Structure 1
Amino acid sequence: MQNLNFTGTQINYYFVCHRKLWLFTKDIRFEDENEYVQLGRLIDENTYKRNKKQIEIGKIKIDFIDNNGVIHEIKKSNKIEKAHIHQVKYYILTLKRMGVENITGEIDYPKLKKRETVLLTPEDEKEFEKIFSDIREILDKPKPPAIIKKTICKKCAYFEFCFA
């Protein structure tokens, strides 16, 4: 079993774009100026204010944990839901390896009025070993991975950097 040395954002970016993952990890960041990222932060800051207490544990930042011990991650859109699900599963795995039992997660999409329950299975734990290995391989490269144009690129904080 490998150490959990990644952030939730890195796990998310692994599923979104390997190039974005590499750039972000090398501290080449454009998120602060991106209107879509700013909108996401605004939704995050203004939703569930009563429950909202961001929790930092090692390299992960959980939006909040409710009174039932459920991890909550707040997202603007479900367009990259697979990435969101794996990010929450990574949080659950991190807590499990720290000895916390029976943790579940939920992804809250306030604009969509939707909530997605997230569970970690033994198969997921095995999959994460491959994910960790893949991420290390990507990050060990001297240059960023090639551009793979996707429909989500247009709204990406790195769009101008990649396509200018």
Structure 2
Amino acid sequence: MTGVMMQYYVVCKRELWFASRHLEIDRENPAVVRGQRVDDTAYEEERENLSLGMVSLDLLQDGRVVEVKPSSSLEEPATMQLSYYLWYLEEFADAERDGVLVHPTERRRQPVTLDADRRAKVEDTIRGIHEVITSDTPPEATEKPFCSACAYHDFCWC
């Protein structure tokens, strides 16, 4: 279970299924290129990419877990990814932390805390992810507003 899987589950279960099968995404996709650019340049002097078991944190800043995203357009998936990191740290490292979603291109920071509701949502999502990735076939394709920007677009619509 990874944070990216949490994000994919919220965005598109079919995308999650493809990723779980290690199907390579379109690295030339503009959304992938933009995300990689932000990932490479934002907070580059502070960035540590801390790996703890199955999670890889962008950085810790003032004791908070910081997740950097290129835009706030998919806010709930990014919030779920960060919530999973906070949950994971509590469950496996006995470290309670708050988090911050950072959107450098928008100069925006959004605090994220792991309250009881968010914890339950993370745990439900973990169960849902397990269902999706253990299935023999991908979930049915369902067109969404952001499908045309998806790095797996050709697997669904061509």
TM-score range, shorter chain: over 0.9
Q: Of 21, 38, 43, which aligns to 2:38?
A: 43
**Which residue of the partner structure matches residue 55 of structure 1?**
50
Distance 1:45 1:100 in 2: 30
**Which ranges of structure 1 fall in alignment gaps of 5 or more residues?**
1-5
**Which ranges of structure 2 fall in alignment gaps of 5 or more residues?**
none
* Identical residues among aligned pairs (%): 27
TM-score between both structures, scaled by the size of structure 1: 0.91
TM-score between both structures, scaled by the size of structure 2: 0.94
User: Any residues of structure 2 matched to 1:1-164 within 5 Å, and which?
Assistant: 6-66=1-61, 68-164=62-158
Distance 1:14 1:27 in 2: 15
CA shift in 2, pair 1:31/1:120, >3 Å: farther
**Which residue of the partner structure matches residue 3 of structure 1?**
none
Compute the RMSD of aligned alpha carbons: 1.2
Count of residues in Structure 1 that have an aligned counterpart in Structure 2: 158
Distance 1:129 1:92 in 2: 12
